[in-house]
Structure 1
Amino acid sequence: MVGKILIVDDVATNRIVFKVKLGAACYQPILAADGESCLRLAHEAAPDLILLDLMLPDLTGIEVLTRLRADPVTCDIPVVMISASQDEDARLAALAAGADDFLTKPIDDLLLLARLRNLLRAREAVTELGPRGTHLHALGLAEGRADFVGPGCVALVAERTETGMRWRKDLTGVLHDSVLVLSREAALVEGGNGAAPDVFVIDADLGGPGGGLRLMSELRSRAATKHAAICIVRPVVSVESTAMAYDLGANDVFSSAVPPREMALRLRTLLRRKRLADTMRASVQDGLRLAVIDPLTGLYNRRYALPQLAAIAERAQEAGQGFAVMVIDLDRFKAVNDHWGHAAGDAVLVEVAERLTENLRKTDLLARIGGEEFLVVLPDSDLTDARATAERLCAVMQERPIQVQGGSLSVTVSIGLAISNPARQVEPVADIVDRADRALMLAKANGRNKVTISRSAA
């Protein structure tokens, strides 16, 4: 099965019909006959989507939807409201309560399945980042999601500028977000002069039949706009054209005759969904960054450094060039913590990291790999260059004291240096680091505050 869909309808025949159709499409149908059962199953079964009838025997569909959206466990589940009613007020009430769509019975099978595929794809794109942030929170790498607040940006792209201006006028007063009227060319400028729009509303026949879908495809291929929500507006909405637009990636499709209030509600839902996805992507990116960054110094950690060293070694082997590895350790650092306290020790580590960064090339690799131990890798370096760099690093540490609360400290470092030349001998990176580490131990044993070169490298 590719997805669990909760069907909520008080008419047994309707439930059975939906169950057969969705089962034939390889979905997993779950059935509920009233609002309370829907709320319970939404918690217990964690469906991927809910088909919710407007009229139920115990609660209205609007009441059920309101409770679903208010519950942190169910608030992000896509909900499609279904009804035999053509009442516009009911449609608007459902969209205002947070429905992702409102379909009127009888529902065409082609349209229904295309819409379900569309909403499930969008949900999967978010849940792949982590089910409501569960994994990130378990690792301590994410913070609670803030509710969607603040204005979004909606771009209107129509064949005629007058049409775009009319759409913007219709939205004035009912959509409290930034609304731009853009040409096709302006829409394709990645990011423009600022952030890319959150939502694009595109004329289906932009530049000719099918032009709107072609623009959508181009926007999806560009880094700045690939995550934007896209609405296709058609003069006449047919089942086939709407289903095709959904399957090609449109987030919503509606008629150019849709009332401004409904258009605004649909756009608001898309803005909310888009901001949720943006927040989760940012959480993942922050989590990945935190997983490879030392939080105290801001340098890379061992987890990041060792694979990068392996990559540097591989490139060096392909180019026939040498590279250098340094292991750097602060001298008598335990005494700093014991005498001045751990806050002073942290300040020393931060200052040492800054001095190392300032005295290395941007192409060099610098990481904190232990309590007071740092790793430096110098690509495309021979013994002469590497020795000069290492001695400079020793000098900049001792040339001026480090200021801490309560006074200043004179700090020195010892450095073990190993040179690798893949043109002469291919050596595992672990062995290179081990040679540099043994050279560091010799530097410590021979008086500290000096550079010692690995014997095999010398």
Structure 2
Amino acid sequence: MQGTILVIDGVSTNRIVLKVQLTAACFQVLQADSMSAAIELMAGNRPDLILTAMTLPDGDAGAVKAALSRMPQLADVPMIALSTSNDRGTRIKALSAGIDEVLPQPVDDMILQARIRSLLRMRMQDEDLHMREDGVPSFVMPMTGATVTAAPRPDTSVALVCHDLPTAQKWKSRLAGSVGYNLRAYNVDAIQDLMRTPVPDVIVIELNEQSAGMALRLLADLRARISTRDSVVIAVPNPADATIAAEALDRGAHDVLHCGFQVDELALRISTQLHHRQRAEMIRANLRNGYRAAMEDPMTGLYNRRYARPFLEQVAREACTTGETFAVMVADLDHFKRINDQHGHPVGDAVLVEAARRLKAQLRGCDLLARIGGEEFMVVMPGIHPSEAATTATRLCNAISTTPFDAPGCDAPLAVTVSVGAVVSTPDGHVASGDEMFAAADRALYDAKHAGRNQALVKGPQRSAAA
């Protein structure tokens, strides 16, 4: 089955007809004859989409949507309302209430099926984002309702793409009085202009009888390109055509005005789609922040051990393939506990941040510097000659020891030193694993500490017994 659809209609004949249509399309169908019966049914069954009559024995489609909005587990279920009247006022009222689509009865099966596919596709994308977001719950900042429903940015741009430029200019003029967006007019073959950075946030495409084929190809192209894949695409068959509208939805349009160009409806659909896009962007930003928090040290901004160890293993595998040598270093600030004990942890934190900055300044862009412990750092340097690695290790020591550290709350600068243990892979065809290289660097660090600290010690990797 493709999903579960709940049909709500007080007329049994209508429910039967819809069940036959939807079952033939491999959907599982639940039925309710009233709003109260539907809410009771949904207490134990979570549908993927709701298909409801506009008028019900104990309410209407707007009341159903309002009831669902108070139920967190059902608030985001897409809804299509079927109306016996196809007037603009009824449609606008329903869309304003949060209903995703309004279709006239008797419903055209082609446009109904396409709309269902489109809404379910968008729902699956949303759920995928939410599932990924749930994967890092301890790192994700909660989103407030006020933030999610914030108005679109003042610089939001909307491109109106029509069969000819005069029509696009006419649409722009009519729409300008209803929205505060930056409107731009294009004809359908001006794709180079449309793709120029910054790309529009919303692209409205006219599906004219003369250019529907070209416009549909453009629609599919826009949805496939990296630069425009996050742009909202709204199709407008002009004049209204159910077949073309269904094709536009199946080509990836986020929304369609199946009744043709109407200013107030287009303005409403643009606003709704921008809010959907904004929420998706916020979830993606939360994900990026969450993954970054999982891999970065919040104090120094360096990568942490969780990121560094897989990075080291990847460098080791690549070195095995290319034959290049690489270096691993472990650096530890000397007598750091004394700084915390004598001056307090805020001073110690300031020293760590400055030490991280100084160490990073000595490395190449391709090198990794990670904080892997309290005052311990790891360096991974891919594709480096042993002599260059030894020079770098000495530079790291000098970067810390030559200039005292100014720290807030200290009367005088603090003298700080660092010990570095380094190991370079051998160029003889044998490449030690990342774990072996790290262990060898850690032993070199121990020897540097034992030899008096404030120095770098470079050694070769010790092969495992299995080697």
- Return the TM-score normalized by structure 1: 0.92
Following TM superposition, by how much is the alpha carbon of 1:336 offset from its aligned partner in structure 2, in angstroms? 2.1
1:212 maps to a residue whose letter is A
1:393 maps to a residue whose letter is L
SS at match of 1:128: helix
Against the structure 1 CA distance between its residues 322 and 35, is the aligned structure 2 distance closer, same or farther, given a 3 Å change threshold?
same
Q: Which whole-Å CA distance do the structure 2 matches of 1:134 and 1:319 have between them?
A: 39
Equivalence for 2:455: 450
Alpha-carbon RMSD across the aligned residues, in angstroms, is 2.5
Equivalence for 2:465: none
Following TM superposition, by how much is the alpha carbon of 1:189 offset from its aligned partner in structure 2, in angstroms? 5.5
Equivalence for 1:417: 422
Equivalence for 1:177: 181
Residue 201 of structure 1 is aligned with which of 201, 204, 208? 204
Against the structure 1 CA distance between its residues 435 and 131, is the aligned structure 2 distance closer, same or farther, given a 3 Å change threshold?
closer
Asked if the contact 1:186/1:192 (under 8 Å) is kept, the reply is no
2:228 maps to a residue whose letter is T
Asked if the contact 1:92/1:262 (under 8 Å) is kept, the reply is yes
Is 1:105 paired with 2:109? no
1:143 maps to a residue whose letter is P
Asked if the contact 1:236/1:255 (under 8 Å) is kept, the reply is no
Alignment of 1:189-228 (within 5 A): 192-194=196-198, 196-205=199-208, 208-228=211-231
Alignment of 1:426-437 (within 5 A): 426-437=431-442
Following TM superposition, by how much is the alpha carbon of 1:51 offset from its aligned partner in structure 2, in angstroms? 1.4
Against the structure 1 CA distance between its residues 4 and 160, is the aligned structure 2 distance closer, same or farther, given a 3 Å change threshold?
same
Following TM superposition, by how much is the alpha carbon of 1:270 offset from its aligned partner in structure 2, in angstroms? 1.6
1:403 maps to a residue whose letter is D
Q: Which moved more, 1:359-368 or 1:265-274?
A: 265-274
Equivalence for 1:359: 362
Against the structure 1 CA distance between its residues 290 and 11, is the aligned structure 2 distance closer, same or farther, given a 3 Å change threshold?
same
Following TM superposition, by how much is the alpha carbon of 1:259 offset from its aligned partner in structure 2, in angstroms? 2.4
Q: Which moved more, 1:21-30 or 1:220-229?
A: 21-30
Following TM superposition, by how much is the alpha carbon of 1:190 offset from its aligned partner in structure 2, in angstroms? 7.6
Equivalence for 2:148: 147
Against the structure 1 CA distance between its residues 44 and 295, is the aligned structure 2 distance closer, same or farther, given a 3 Å change threshold?
farther
Q: Which whole-Å CA distance do the structure 1 matches of 2:98 and 2:175 have between them?
A: 19
Q: Which whole-Å CA distance do the structure 2 matches of 1:30 and 1:358 have between them?
A: 64
Equivalence for 2:338: 335
Following TM superposition, by how much is the alpha carbon of 1:141 offset from its aligned partner in structure 2, in angstroms? 2.0
Q: Which whole-Å CA distance do the structure 2 matches of 1:188 and 1:110 have between them?
A: 33
- Return the TM-score normalized by structure 2: 0.90
Asked if the contact 2:302/2:369 (under 8 Å) is kept, the reply is yes
Against the structure 1 CA distance between its residues 46 and 144, is the aligned structure 2 distance closer, same or farther, given a 3 Å change threshold?
farther
Equivalence for 1:166: 170
Is 1:249 paired with 2:252? yes
Following TM superposition, by how much is the alpha carbon of 1:147 offset from its aligned partner in structure 2, in angstroms? 2.1
Asked if the contact 1:95/1:265 (under 8 Å) is kept, the reply is yes
Equivalence for 1:440: 445
1:410 maps to a residue whose letter is A
SS at match of 1:297: coil
1:405 maps to a residue whose letter is P
Q: Which whole-Å CA distance do the structure 1 matches of 2:195 and 2:344 have between them?
A: 48
Equivalence for 1:59: 59
Aligned residues: 456
Asked if the contact 1:325/1:377 (under 8 Å) is kept, the reply is yes
Q: Which whole-Å CA distance do the structure 2 matches of 1:395 and 1:424 have between them?
A: 33
Q: Which moved more, 1:260-269 or 1:390-399?
A: 260-269
Asked if the contact 1:302/1:368 (under 8 Å) is kept, the reply is yes
Q: Which whole-Å CA distance do the structure 2 matches of 1:437 and 1:206 have between them?
A: 72
Q: Which whole-Å CA distance do the structure 1 matches of 2:191 and 2:275 have between them?
A: 21
Q: Which whole-Å CA distance do the structure 2 matches of 1:133 and 1:309 have between them?
A: 27
Alignment of 1:39-78 (within 5 A): 39=39, 45-69=45-69, 72-78=72-78
Following TM superposition, by how much is the alpha carbon of 1:296 offset from its aligned partner in structure 2, in angstroms? 1.3
Asked if the contact 1:78/1:100 (under 8 Å) is kept, the reply is yes
After superposition, what is the alpha-carbon deviation per residue over 1:404-441, rounded to whole angstroms, capped at 9, x for unaligned?
22113222111110110254312111101110011111
Following TM superposition, by how much is the alpha carbon of 1:52 offset from its aligned partner in structure 2, in angstroms? 2.4
Asked if the contact 1:3/1:48 (under 8 Å) is kept, the reply is yes
SS at match of 1:317: helix
Q: Which whole-Å CA distance do the structure 1 matches of 2:443 and 2:176 have between them?
A: 71
After superposition, what is the alpha-carbon deviation per residue over 1:160-217, rounded to whole angstroms, capped at 9, x for unaligned?
11111111122122223332223456655686343x3222111224983411111112
Following TM superposition, by how much is the alpha carbon of 1:18 offset from its aligned partner in structure 2, in angstroms? 2.6
2:112 maps to a residue whose letter is L
Q: Which whole-Å CA distance do the structure 1 matches of 2:187 and 2:427 have between them?
A: 55
After superposition, what is the alpha-carbon deviation per residue over 1:360-417, rounded to whole angstroms, capped at 9, x for unaligned?
1101111112222111111221221111101111011011222222113222111110
